[in-house]
């Protein structure tokens, strides 16, 4: 089932967020670089809409993530003034309350990457690849973790290519040599939370949940592959 009006509303709201974020960003070059992957994401979603329209849940999760990303792109991730916003509401800074010394907005987004995108990824796996049971939870987690790693490599490559202040702003390590490792960990934790919540809901609502898990772990082909399969194919060809 397609959700044209709902998707158009989300797209219009995101367009507003995007335009507002494009007005006098903290670093125009960094803002442009941050939005390269956003543009690619929107193109993929638009191109696949006819063949693979996602659920409202998936589109909403993607929308929330992209909006949060636009906040980071506008200020640069290391400069998002959440402490100022919190202080205006409470009179004290959020970092002081938590005992933090660095700007942790980038950490929130990496956690959000796993938390918000694991379910849309799961939906694609279930509907395109046809995975079920254990693999319907593990593979979205696995892809979330691997793409998080790929993004860290992309960040590194972009920082090396552009260099200077733009490279530093885009990388956003804030002097933490373990920044990439912590970002990947948080994305993984977010995906684990998302898949755990999904599994608990399905455990409660899906009658054949246990049977589906058992079937997904059953050995489907007992004959080994590798050299055995190559030999079998050669015999068939001859």
Number of Cβ within 10 Å of residue 165's Cβ equals: 11
130 belongs to a structural domain: yes
pLDDT of 169 over the 70 cut:
no
230 belongs to a structural domain: no
pLDDT of 231 over the 90 cut:
no
pLDDT of residue 95: 78
233 belongs to a structural domain: no
Rounded CA gap, 142 and 155, in Å? 20
State the greatest distance between any 2 C-alpha atoms of the chain, in Å, as a whole number: 81
pLDDT of residue 232: 81
Mean pLDDT of the chain: 88
* pLDDT confidence bin for 17, thresholds 50/70/90: very high
Q: What count of Cα atoms within 13 Å lies in the side-chain half-sphere of residue 170?
A: 27
226 belongs to a structural domain: no
The residue that leads in pLDDT, 54 or 157, is: 54
204 belongs to a structural domain: yes
**How many domains does one find in the chain?**
1
pLDDT of 166 over the 70 cut:
no
* pLDDT confidence bin for 173, thresholds 50/70/90: low
The answer to whether the CB of 52 falls within 8 A of the CB of 128 is yes
Q: Which domain holds residue 73?
A: 4-216
């Amino acid at each position: 089932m397609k959700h044209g009006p709902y998707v158009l509303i989300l797209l219009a709201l995101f367009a507003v967020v995007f335009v507002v974020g494009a007005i006098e960003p903290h670093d125009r070059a960094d803002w442009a670089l941050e939005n390269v992957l956003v543009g690619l994401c929107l193109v993929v979603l638009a191109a696949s809409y006819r063949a693979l329209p996602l659920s409202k849940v998936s589109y909403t999760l993607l929308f929330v993530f992209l909006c949060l990303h636009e906040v980071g792109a506008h200020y640069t991730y290391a400069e998002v003034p959440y402490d100022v916003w919190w202080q205006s509401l409470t009179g004290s800074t959020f970092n002081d309350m938590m005992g933090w010394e660095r700007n942790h907005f980038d950490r929130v987004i990496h956690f959000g990457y796993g938390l918000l995108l694991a379910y849309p990824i799961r939906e694609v796996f279930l509907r395109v690849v046809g995975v079920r049971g254990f693999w319907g939870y593990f593979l979205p987690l696995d892809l979330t973790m691997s793409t998080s790693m790929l993004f860290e490599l992309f960040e590194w490559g972009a920082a090396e290519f552009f260099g200077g202040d733009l490279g530093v702003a885009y990388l956003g390590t804030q002097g933490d040599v373990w920044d990439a490792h912590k970002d990947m960990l948080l994305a993984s934790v977010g995906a684990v939370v998302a898949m755990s919540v999904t599994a608990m809901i399905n455990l409660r609502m899906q009658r054949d949940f246990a049977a589906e898990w058992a079937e997904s772990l059953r050995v489907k082909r007992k004959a080994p592959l590798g050299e055995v399969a190559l030999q079998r194919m050669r015999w068939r060809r001859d």
